[in-house]
Amino acid sequence: TDGLTQEQRALRDRARELAQEAAAQAAETDRSGQYPWLMVRKMAEAGFTGLTIPKEWGGPGGSVLDAALVVEEFSKACAVCGRIAVEANMGAVGAIMAYGTEAQKKLAAGLVLAGDKPAICITEPEAGSAATEMATTAERRGDRWIINGRKTWITGGGVSRLHLIFARVVEDGAFKGIGGFLVVRDEAGKPEGLIVSRRIPSLGLCGMPEAELEFSELEVADDMVLRAPGGWQRGFGRLIDAYNGQRVGAATVALGLAAGAYEHAVGRANARSQFGRPIAEFQGLGWMLADMSIEVEAARALVHRAARSAGPAGFPDRLAAAQAKVFASEMAIRVTNGALQVWGAAGYSKDNPMERYLRDARMFAIAGGTAQVLRTQVAEQILGRKLPQTRDGFLRIIAEEGA
Ligand code: FAD
């Protein structure tokens, strides 16, 4: 009834097994804020990073749904590990496998198969939801590009090796569009022009660094430009298609967090007694748990539907991805909060994982397109019209269409 193949169920069970180790270290990762390198190595060895890399590049050629099954299992146990599985299978690596040169694909495949979690660098201090208002520039100088600017909230800043950096392309002094540039940061922190200037303290997902980056005369060779079809003008839209994979991934982590918290809540409701009876017998809790189970199943159905929509290029459908992410991200906040309630005071304590689930769940309605921005995207698609967000946006459409 789950629509999965026998291989997919086996893959999920394998992930579930290693995820038990992820669960055992999750509290320590959260407390210390340290990136879980040991788990990452185990995940890479088990083939859970680079799972979506095609066979010709050394991977097993798994689907987006395969990756989602793995991501959900790790996220139930340790959402930081779940996010690592997302980035090592979807997102930047998807864009590179779709549009990269042979050399770029080989480079990216090798890195994620070895466990690297690529970083995507879009957001800037003054350009959040309005990502195209970014100020970082990449200026052509001969066969090199020189990048200058600042990025913020870059997941994996300081631990990621592969970086996909978005910048305004300047050629012959003129602005041409937004392009994607690949930079590999080595273990010694080189190149020097890519500076991890600050780690941002955050509410949840504490083992995953969020960082401010600075690019100072950062040199990128021309063969490290990720060129999507359609030239600079249309290239950004194509490159950002990779974000649909990332969105399904983020929705899956939210789903996993909710499913994990829900399972703990069911266990607690059966184990804890008050008034001489299991608290599970109180209808007030039974209905809460029933609602949680409905929400988790609904989110899983949306996530799987979006994951299955990915074509050969590996990009899920834009509408399906946005619908899944809006629902799963908000659902995870409700369900993790309800699950903590079922645990009572014990849920509020750091002795138990419930408060971590709640903190970890909070970000998915913000990062990678906020729930508000994604609702507008959904509206654009179901209404079949552009809904520009700038003040002069509709005037421009009228001018173009002469309407
Ligand atoms: P703003 O754009 O300033 O929005 C503030 C509020 O206004 C929000 O509630 C928003 O929904 C609302 N709003 C804005 N515009 C509209 C509109 N048109 N209609 C309705 N409401 C609107 N970025 C990267 O590039 N790489 C990363 O790896 C990355 N990782 C992240 C990890 C975390 C944990 C977080 C929190 C963020 C991350 N981001 C990353 C940044 C993230 O993508 C941005 O935070 C997001 O796009 C929103 O931008 P903002 O935070 O500047 O909010």
Confidence label for 403 from pLDDT (cuts 50, 70 and 90): low
pLDDT value, residue 402: 73
Q: List CB contacts of 197: < 8 A, sequence separation 6 or more.
A: 150, 211, 212, 213, 214
Query: Token pair 């992410």 is at which residue?
Result: 325
For residue 339, pLDDT over 90 is answered with: yes
On the question of pLDDT at 1 being above 80, the answer is no
Confidence at 373, pLDDT banded by 50, 70, 90? very high
Tell me, in angstroms, the distance from the centre of ligand 1 to residue 368's CA.
Answer: 7
Q: What would the 3-class secondary structure string for 343-397 be? A: HCHHHHCCCCCHHHHHHHHHHHHCCCCCHHHHHHHHHHHHHCCCCCCCCCHHHHH
Nearest-atom index, ligand 1, CA of 119: 28
CA of 154 to the centre of ligand 1 (A): 12
Q: Which atom of ligand 1 is nearest to the CA of 129?
A: 2
With contact defined as beta carbons under 8 Å apart, do 114 and 88 qualify? no
Alpha-carbon Rg for the chain, nearest whole angstrom, is 22
The third-level CATH classification (topology) of the domain covering 6-113 is: Butyryl-Coa Dehydrogenase, subunit A; domain 1 (1.10.540)
| Cβ atoms of residues 147 and 138 within 8 Å | yes
> What confidence tens digit (pLDDT) does each residue in 285-332 have?
999 999 999 999 999 999 999 999 997 667 999 999 999 999 999 999
Position 234 scores a pLDDT of: 86
Residue with CA nearest ligand 1 atom 18: 389
Quick one: which atom of ligand 1 is closest to the CA of 131?
47
Answer for the pair 107, 285: CB distance below 8 angstroms, yes or no.
Answer: no
Res 400: pLDDT: 87
Which of 153, 203, 240 has most ligand 1 atoms within 8 Å of its beta carbon, as the pocket-test mutant? 153
- pLDDT on residue 313: 63
Whole-number Å distance, alpha carbon 20 to ligand 1 midpoint, is 32
What is the per-residue pLDDT across 103-140, written as a single tens digit (0 to 9) for each? 999 999 999 999 999 999 999 999 999 999 999 999 99
Q: Please state, for a pLDDT cut of 90, what percent of the chain lies above it.
A: 93
pLDDT at position 91 is: 87
List the residue whose alpha carbon is closest to atom 49 of ligand 1.
Answer: 128
Cα 130 to ligand 1 centroid, rounded to whole Å:
8
Average pLDDT of the residues in 151-180:
97
Q: How far is the CA of 161 from the centre of ligand 1 (A)?
A: 24
Whether 132 is in the pocket of ligand 1, judged by its Cβ within 6 Å, is no
Cβ of 368 below 6 Å from ligand 1: yes
Q: Atom 20 of ligand 1 has which residue's CA nearest to it? A: 372
Average pLDDT of the chain is 96
d(CA 213, CA 136): 11
Task: Give the pair of three-digit tokens for residue 314.
Answer: 């590996």
pLDDT in tens, 44-70: 999 999 999 999 999 999 999 999 999
Ligand 1 geometric centre to CA of 173 (Å): 30
What local confidence, expressed as pLDDT, does residue 268 receive? 98
180 lines ligand 1 (CB under 6 A): no
What is residue 356's predicted lDDT score, i.e. its pLDDT?
98
Mean pLDDT of 213-218: 98
83-120 burial: b if 16+ Cβ within 10 Å, else e: bbbbbbbbbbbbbbbbbbeeebbebbbebbbebbbbbb
Atom 26 of ligand 1, residue of closest alpha carbon: 154
DSSP 8-state class, residue 281: G
CATH class of 119-231: mainly beta
Ligand 1 atom showing the smallest separation from residue 369 Cα? 47
**pLDDT average, residue stretch 188-196:** 96
| pLDDT higher than threshold 90 for residue 345 | yes
Place of tokens 């909230």: 153
Query: What's the pTM?
Result: 0.98
Residue pair 19/85 in contact (Cβ under 8 Å)? The answer is no
* Residues ≥6 apart with Cβ < 8 Å to 175: 168, 169
Give the residue whose CA is nearest to atom 45 of ligand 1: 367
Domain ranges for the chain, please list them: 6-113, 119-231, 241-383
CATH superfamily of 241-383: Butyryl-CoA Dehydrogenase, subunit A, domain 3 (1.20.140.10)
153 lines ligand 1 (CB under 6 A): yes
Tell me the C-alpha distance between 71 and 244, whole Å: 16
Other beta carbons within 10 angstroms of residue 295's beta carbon come to: 22
Nearest ligand 1 atom to alpha carbon 389: 18
Q: Is 370 in the pocket of ligand 1 (CB under 6 A)?
A: yes
Closest alpha carbon to 196 in 154, 164, 162, 166: 154
